[in-house]
C-alpha cells in the first residue's frame, strides 16, 4: 500500500518536472511564479503523502484533514499563481 | 555593421555567462543550506549526547526502598499490616487524600480486585468482554510461566533467576569492547528487542533494600544478590498500536501484558547469553530497580510527564527489560544519555494529564524536585514519592486505584501521547520537527494532533478496529 504511494509520488514528481519545463518554455516565469509553483507542488506532494498514509493506517480523520489542510492550499496557490503570474506572461 | 553585430553577440554571451554563474552559485548555496539544515536536524533527531545523567538529582536524593514501591506494597499482606496508615490515606470515593468520614482505599484488596477482574467479564460492555479478557489472560500466560510475578516486582523469578551456577568457566575471547557491544546488540535484535542500550550500573536507580513479597523478606545487594553488577543492558519491546488505542479498555492491557511476556524472553535470554559467554548476569523487569532511569542512562529516550520512557519513533508505547551483569566495557563504549527534546515538548503538552481517568498525572508547567499534588506534604499519604529528582511527580496511588476500578491497567497516558504513532513517514516528519521546535509550536502540534483525530481514549470504535486489525492490511 505505501509502496504504491511512493511509486505514484515518483510519477507525480516526474510529471511535475515535465510540466514545469513546458511552462518555462511557453511563458516568462518570474520569481513569483517560480515560488508559487514550488509551494503549490510541495503542498500537493504532502497532501498525497499525508492523506494516503493516514487512510492506510486507518485514521480517516487525519486523512480528511490532510486533504483540507494541504490539498486546498495547493489548489488555491496553483490557481492564484496561474492567474496572476503565469497567464499574463505568455511569450 | 559587422563590428556592431559582433559586439552585440558578445554582450549576449556575457549575459548568459553571468546568468549561469548566478544560477550555479544559487544552486551551490541552496544545496549547502539544505545539507547543513539536514545534518543539524539529523543530529537533533538522533538525540544530542549528554555528558552526565540529564536529569537534575539533588545531593539528598535517596535510593528507593522497594517496600515503598506501590505494586510491592499492594501485593504484600505483611507490609499492609505494618503500614495500616497507608490503607487509610487515599479516598475511595474522591480524588486524593481521604477526608474524615470518607471511605479509604485498601491497596491489598485493590490488587485482588484487579487480578480477578477477568472473572467478571461483561459481554455487553465494549472492551471488557470475555473476548478481551481472554486475550489479556493469554498475553500474561507467557510471563506467568517464564517469570511469575515479575510485573509485581518480585525478584529472582524464572528466566530472571539469580542462580549463577551455569556460568561458563571460560570467558569468550572478545577482541575489544566494540566486538562485545556488537554481539550484545545483535543478540538483543535476535531476541526481538526494538532498541538496546548499555550503561554503567548506577546504584542510585536500584532499590535498596530489595523485597520479595512472596516470602515477605528484604534482600540486600551485598549479601543476597549473587555478584556486584558493573553494567546494565537495557532493552525495549514495543506494544501494539491498535491495541493501545483502545485504552483504558482491556485490549490495551493485553498488549501491555504481552510486553511483560516479551521482557521475560528478552531479559532472560540476554542474561543466559552472557552466562554462556562466561559473565554473571541477571535479567530484570519491574524488580531490582527503576527501568525508566536505566533506559534514560542508556540513551534510549527521555522520562516524560506521564512517568514513562518516551523513545524516539515509538513514544511511550514500550516496555523495558534490563540485565545486570559483571561484564565491563571501556568507558567510551557505553551508550550516553541523549536529549531528544521530548521533556521540553511535555512542558507544553499535558495531553496525558488531561486524558488520565485517574487524575494522577501532574499538570505543572515545569518539572519539580518533589511532588506538588494534594497531600504531598503528608508522609502518610505520599509514602511512595521519591523527592530529589527533577521530573513531573505523579500520584501513582490514584493511577493504581483507577486500574483496580477499571479491571485493567489503563494506558490512556500512552495512547493519548502525541509521540505514540505507528510507523508511517508523516509521523516521523512531525516527530523530527518536534525535536527542534519549541514553546508555542509544541502547543500547536498537540492541538493539531487532537484535530487530526489522534490520541483518543475510551473509544469504542478503536476496540472494533483493533479486533479487525489482524484481518486487514499488510498483516494478512
Ligand atoms: S495508566 Fe491511566 S490512570 Fe495511570 S497515569 Fe496513565 S492514564 Fe492515568
Ligand atoms: S502526552 Fe504530552 S505531556 Fe504527556 S508524556 Fe506525551 S508528550 Fe509528554
CA distance B238 to B294: 17
Q: What is the structure's pLDDT at B435?
A: 87
| Predicted pLDDT of residue B21 | 57
The number of the ligand nearest the C-alpha atom of B341 reads 2
The angle at the Cα of B154, spanning B168 to B287, to the nearest 5 degrees, equals: 70
The domain limits of chain B are: 46-420+455-466
pLDDT at B43: 66
Cβ pair B301, B203 in contact under 8 A: no
Q: Indicate yes or no: CB of A58 within 8 angstroms of CB of B465.
A: yes
User: Which of chain A's residues have a Cβ under 8 Å away from the Cβ of B428?
Assistant: none
What would the mean pLDDT of B420-446 be, rounded to a whole number?
Answer: 91
Are B459 and A58 in contact by the 8 Å Cβ rule? The answer is no
Chain B residues touching A46 at Cβ < 8 A: 426
Q: Which residues of B touch A66 (CB under 8 A)?
A: 426, 452
Q: Report CB contact under 8 Å: B473, A62.
A: no
pLDDT at B3: 65
**Do B425 and A53 count as a contact with CB atoms less than 8 A apart?**
yes
DSSP A32-44: HHHHHHHHHHHHH
Q: What is the pLDDT of residues B87-110, one digit of tens each?
A: 999 999 888 999 988 999 999 999
pLDDT at B183: 98
Query: Average pLDDT of B390-409?
Result: 97
Cell of B458: 475510551
Question: In testing the pocket of ligand 1, which one of B70, B292, B350, B357 has its CB within 8 Å of the most ligand atoms?
Answer: B357
Residue of A57, A60, A61 lying closest to B424 (CB–CB): A57
Closest Cβ opposite residue B451 in set A2, A60, A65: A65
Q: Do A65 and B474 touch (CB under 8 A)?
A: no
Residue B328 in contact with residue B201, Cβ under 8 Å? no
The string of pLDDT tens digits covering residues B191-238 is 999 999 999 999 999 999 999 999 999 999 999 999 999 999 999 999
Q: Where are the alpha helices (DSSP H) in B245-322?
A: 250-276, 291-297
Judge: A62–B422 Cβ closer than 8 Å, yes or no. Answer: no
ipTM for the predicted complex: 0.88
Least confident of A63-72, B30-39, B66-75, B426-435: B30-39
What was the pLDDT predicted at B313?
Answer: 93
Q: How many CB contacts within 8 angstroms connect chain A with chain B?
A: 36
B461 contacts in A (CB within 8 Å)? none
Beta strands B281-284 and B318-325, pairing class: antiparallel
**Residue B24 pLDDT level (bands cut at 50, 70, 90):** low
Q: Looking at the predicted structure, is the pLDDT value of residue B7 above 90?
A: no
Most A CBs within 10 Å, among B30, B422, B424, B427, to test the A interface:
B424
CB atoms inside a 10 Å sphere around CB B401: 21
Contact B82, B225 (CB under 8 A): no
Q: Which ligand is nearest to the CA of B434?
A: 2
pLDDT at B78: 98
CB contact under 8 Å between B425 and A62, yes or no, is no
Q: In ligand 1, which atom is closest to the CA atom of B307?
A: 5
Task: Report the residue of B418, B452, B475 to disrupt the A interface, i.e. the one with the largest count of A CBs within 10 Å.
Answer: B452
Cα-to-centroid distance, B395 and ligand 2 (Å): 16
CB contact under 8 A, B426 and A54: yes
Which of B419, B439, B444, B449 maximizes ligand 2 atoms within 8 Å of its Cβ, making it the mutation to test the pocket? Answer: B419
Bond into B248 cis (ω within 30): yes
* pLDDT for residue A1: 80
Which of B242, B426, B453 is closest, CB to CB, to A53?
A: B426
Helices (H), chain A: 2-26, 31-56, 60-66, 72-81
Q: How confident is the model at residue B417 (pLDDT cuts 50, 70, 90)?
A: very high
User: Can you tell me the distance from the alpha carbon of A83 to that of A78, in angstroms, rounded to the nearest whole number?
Assistant: 9
Q: Whose CA is nearest to atom 8 of ligand 1?
A: B356
Instruction: Please write the tens of the pLDDT for every residue from B116-157.
Output: 999 999 999 999 999 999 999 999 999 999 999 999 999 999
Rounded distance from Cα B407 to ligand 1 centre (Å): 13
pLDDT at residue B439 in the model: 87
Chain B residues with CB inside 8 Å of A53's CB? Answer: 424-426
> Taking residues B367-375, what's their average pLDDT?
96
Q: How far apart are CA B229 and CA B65, in angstroms?
A: 19
- Tell me the pLDDT tens digit for each residue of B271-321: 999 999 999 999 999 999 999 999 999 999 999 999 999 999 999 999 999
Residues sharing a CB contact under 8 Å with residue A63, sequence separation 6 or more, in sequence order: A50, A51, A52, A54, A55
From B345, B347, B363, mutation site for ligand 2 pocket: most ligand atoms within 8 A of C-beta: B345
Q: Give pLDDT, residue B95.
A: 83
Q: How far is the CA of B399 from the centre of ligand 1 (A)?
A: 5
Across the interface, which of A2, A53, A62 has its CB nearest the CB of B453?
A62
Amino acid at each position: 500500500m505505501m509502496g504504491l504511494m511512493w511509486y505514484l509520488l515518483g510519477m507525480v514528481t516526474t510529471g511535475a518536472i515535465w510540466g514545469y519545463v513546458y511552462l518555462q518554455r511557453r511563458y516568462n516565469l518570474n520569481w513569483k511564479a517560480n515560488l508559487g509553483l514550488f509551494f503549490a507542488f510541495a503542498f500537493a506532494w504532502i497532501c498525497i503523502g499525508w492523506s494516503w498514509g493516514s487512510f492506510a493506517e486507518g485514521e480517516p480523520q487525519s486523512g480528511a484533514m490532510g486533504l483540507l489542510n494541504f490539498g486546498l492550499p495547493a489548489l488555491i496557490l496553483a490557481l492564484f499563481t496561474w492567474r496572476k503570474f503565469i497567464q499574463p506572461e505568455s511569450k | 555593421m559587422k563590428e556592431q553585430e559582433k559586439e552585440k553577440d558578445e554582450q549576449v554571451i556575457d549575459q548568459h555567462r553571468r546568468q549561469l554563474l548566478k544560477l550555479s552559485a544559487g544552486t551551490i548555496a541552496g544545496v549547502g543550506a539544505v545539507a547543513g539544515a539536514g545534518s543539524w536536524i539529523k543530529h537533533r533527531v538522533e538525540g544530542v549526547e549528554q555528558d552526565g545523567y540529564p536529569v537534575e538529582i539533588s545531593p539528598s536524593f535517596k535510593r528507593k526502598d522497594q517496600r515503598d514501591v506501590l505494586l510491592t506494597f499492594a501485593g504484600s499482606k505483611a507490609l499492609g499490616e505494618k503500614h495500616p496508615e497507608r490503607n487509610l490515606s487515599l479516598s475511595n470515593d474522591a480524588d486524593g487524600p481521604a477526608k474524615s468520614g470518607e471511605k479509604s482505599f485498601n491497596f491489598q484488596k485493590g490488587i485482588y480486585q484487579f487480578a480477578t477482574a477477568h472473572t467478571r467479564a461483561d459481554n455487553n460492555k465494549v472492551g471488557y468482554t470475555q473476548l478481551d479478557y481472554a486475550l489479556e489472560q493469554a498475553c500474561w500466560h507467557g510471563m506467568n510461566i517464564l517469570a511469575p510475578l515479575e510485573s509485581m516486582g518480585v525478584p529472582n523469578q524464572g528466566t530472571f533467576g539469580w542462580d549463577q551456577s551455569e556460568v561458563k568457566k571460560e570467558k569468550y575471547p572478545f577482541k575489544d569492547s566494540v566486538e562485545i557491544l556488537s554481539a550484545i546488540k545483535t543478540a538483543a535484535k535476535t531476541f526481538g528487542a526494538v532498541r538496546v542500550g548499555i550503561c554503567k550500573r548506577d546504584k542510585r536507580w536500584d532499590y535498596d533494600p530489595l523485597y520479595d513479597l512472596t516470602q515477605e523478606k528484604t534482600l540486600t545487594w551485598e549479601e543476597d544478590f549473587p555478584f556486584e553488577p558493573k553494567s546494565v543492558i537495557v532493552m525495549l519491546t514495543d506494544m501494539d498500536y491498535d491495541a493501545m488505542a483502545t485504552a483504558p479498555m482491556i485490549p490495551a492491557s493485553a498488549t501491555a501484558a504481552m510486553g511483560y511476556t516479551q521482557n521475560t524472553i528478552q531479559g532472560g535470554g540476554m542474561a543466559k547469553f552472557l552466562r554462556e559467554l562466561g559473565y554473571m548476569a541477571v535479567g530484570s523487569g519491574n524488580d531490582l530497580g527503576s527501568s525508566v532511569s536505566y533506559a534514560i542512562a542508556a540513551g534510549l529516550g527521555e522520562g516524560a510527564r506521564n512517568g514513562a520512557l518516551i523513545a524516539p519513533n515509538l513514544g511511550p508505547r514500550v516496555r523495558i527489560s534490563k540485565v545486570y551483569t559483571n561484564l565491563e566495557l571501556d568507558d567510551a563504549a557505553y551508550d550516553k544519555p541523549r536529549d531528544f527534546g521530548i521533556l521540553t515538548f511535555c512542558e507544553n503538552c499535558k495531553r496525558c494529564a488531561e486524558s488520565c481517568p485517574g487524575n494522577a498525572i501532574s499538570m505543572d508547567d515545569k518539572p519539580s524536585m518533589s511532588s506538588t499534588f494534594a497531600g504531598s506534604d503528608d508522609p502518610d499519604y505520599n509514602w511512595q514519592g521519591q523527592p530529589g529528582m527533577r521530573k513531573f511527580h505523579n500520584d501513582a496511588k490514584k493511577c493504581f486505584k483507577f486500574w483496580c476500578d477499571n479491571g485493567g491497567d489503563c494506558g490512556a497516558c500512552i495512547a493519548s501521547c502525541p509521540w505514540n504513532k505507528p510507523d508511517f513517514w508523516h509521523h516521523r516528519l512531525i516527530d523530527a520537527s518536534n525535536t527542534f521546535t519549541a514553546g508555542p509550536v509544541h502547543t500547536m502540534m498537540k492541538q493539531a494532533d487532537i484535530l487530526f483525530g489522534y490520541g483518543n481514549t475510551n473509544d469504542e470504535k478503536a476496540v472494533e478496529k483493533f479486533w479487525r486489525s489482524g484481518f486487514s492490511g499488510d498483516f494478512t
